[in-house]
Chain A
Amino acid sequence: MPLIWDLSRRIGERPRWAAGELLAEIESHRIPNVGAKVSRLAVRWIHLLIPEVTIDMATALVPVDRMVYRVSVRLGVLKAEQHPYLGKGSPGDLAVQRFAARIFPHDPTLVDEPLWMVGRQFCDRVNPRCAAGCMFAHACPKCLPDVDPMDIGFRRPPAERAAAPEPSISGTSAGILVMVACVGQKVWDDEPDADKFQPAGTAYTSPLFRKSREYAKRFGRAWVVFSAKYGFLHPDELIEHYNVTFKMGGPDLVTVERLREQIAEKALNAFSGIIVLGGRPYVDRVRLGFAGHNVQILDPMQGMPIGKRLQWLSDPEPPNQGSSGMDARDG
């Protein structure tokens, strides 16, 4: 509480702030778990709700995340090939900031929430559902409807990834994290000359993994690989070839203690639900790892043999946190 007290006192001492200054002030207090997104949300709420504190929003920047980037590309605000997002100041970031400042010079951040909401509700990774109520449908050129623009141009830098998962900006939950279990077939089996280190997201090559990855990208707010050796891996994290499984056992397997450490390190408990696409040994370990955390663990393919899993993943049901769920504390 002292940190929040000191921060509120500092804010209240000055009747006028530039948005960037206030953001820096909040972040400088280093309140645990208050990252860039939470800070920006606080700035916006103070701007809306506290008349004694005037905030000049003209200098405020739009926080570019996956949703904002994807919708911006679809709207033609930027081109994924020419304007990759690689962090603050990158071509993708600058293109969004220029656009926002042009149409709302007094408060560029006004575009943030509508873009994010459209991305969340209508602008799916592929085949956006424009007619379902998208507020921009009438004016949108619908660029790249068949591919996910993020796959072309969105590369979050490590420093920003450390703050992931992104918190809510508009009153919805932090969303669903999808965990895709590792498989035996890896890129080194297909290409013996492949580099020694490969990103976890593309290192596994079996049809089951590929389909699970498609599901994760489609329905997850974020996704990780659950490796029997390495534990929870961001898709960009590099791994080496290995050959251990939970069924085989052995000293190289990741321990539940290590999984718990990774949950804290990677803030995986910030999600409201976790979908595990993997067999029982993976689901059980996820339950143990998250025991005591306020997340719901879902096992949508429970009991299915591999053939059925492939079939289900080819035509999956959207996630439903109300069914097939297990509370982490049950474990």
Chain B
Amino acid sequence: MRRAVLQYHDAPTTDPFLLWFQRLDGSARPDLGLRLRAIITNARFNQNVRAESALQNTIAVLDCGLLDQREAGDSDLPLLVGDQIPHASGLGAEIFRSYAAYLGPFTEDR
């Protein structure tokens, strides 16, 4: 059984976040804080949607500079995606609200 577990972990990862992060790490490595925030953010996204969608959201949040802004609020959020939802304009506000709980400062006391 030990061998089977090791073989499982030795196999090339198919997790899109790990693959993306490794590529990110191999180029111009962002500062430590930003990488940590990206990990925490993606772990949170990963709870609600598929890994691909979680990564898409993490990249969107990263690209708009939100992870660099300590005081960013929900009005700064980009359009985020869920499993069943392609990038459809008009759905943004609802999706914003569903994720603002973890990104925004407004819900810290929840």
Binding site for B on A (CB under 8 A): 1-5, 7-9, 11-12, 26, 31-34, 37-39, 41-42, 45-46, 48-50, 52-53, 75, 103-104, 110-111, 113-114, 117, 135-136, 138-139, 167-168, 170-174, 269-270, 272, 292-296, 321, 325, 327, 329
Contact = CB atoms under 8 A, between A and B. Distances in A.
Contact of B50 (A2, A39, A136, A272): A272
Contact of B5 (A1, A39, A103, A295): A103
A136 B1 CA distance: 6
Nearest to A169: B46
A167 B35 CA distance: 22
Contact of B70 (A5, A11, A49, A52): A5
B105 A2 contact: yes
Contacts of B35: 49-50
Interface of B: 1-2, 4-9, 14-18, 21-22, 25, 32-33, 35-37, 39-44, 46-51, 66-67, 69-73, 82-85, 91, 94-95, 97-98, 101-105, 107-108, 110
Given A32-B108, A171-B14, A38 B85 contact: no
Ranked 5 nearest A-B pairs via Cβ: A294-B82, A167-B47, A171-B51, A8-B36, A42-B43
A4 B108 CA distance: 11
Contact of B46 (A7, A114, A171, A296): A171
B37 to A, nearest CB: 5
Nearest to B51: A171
Q: Could you say which of B32, B40, B102 has the most chain A C-beta atoms within 10 Å of its C-beta? A: B40
B104 A1 contact: yes
A325 B73 CA distance: 33
A203 to B, nearest CB: 31
Contacts of A111: 5
B8 A8 contact: no
Contact of A32 (B21, B49, B101): B101
B18 A37 contact: no
A104 B51 contact: no
A39 B40 CA distance: 8
Nearest to A327: B84
Given A2-B70, A174-B48, A294-B83, A42 B1 contact: no
A31 B47 CA distance: 14
A311 to B, nearest CB: 29
Given A32-B108, A111-B5, A113-B8, A49 B51 contact: no
B21 A33 contact: no
Nearest to A48: B18
Contacts of A4: 37, 40-41, 102-103
12 contacts: A1-B72, A4-B40, A7-B40, A12-B36, A32-B102, A41-B43, A41-B46, A42-B43, A135-B8, A171-B17, A321-B84, A327-B84
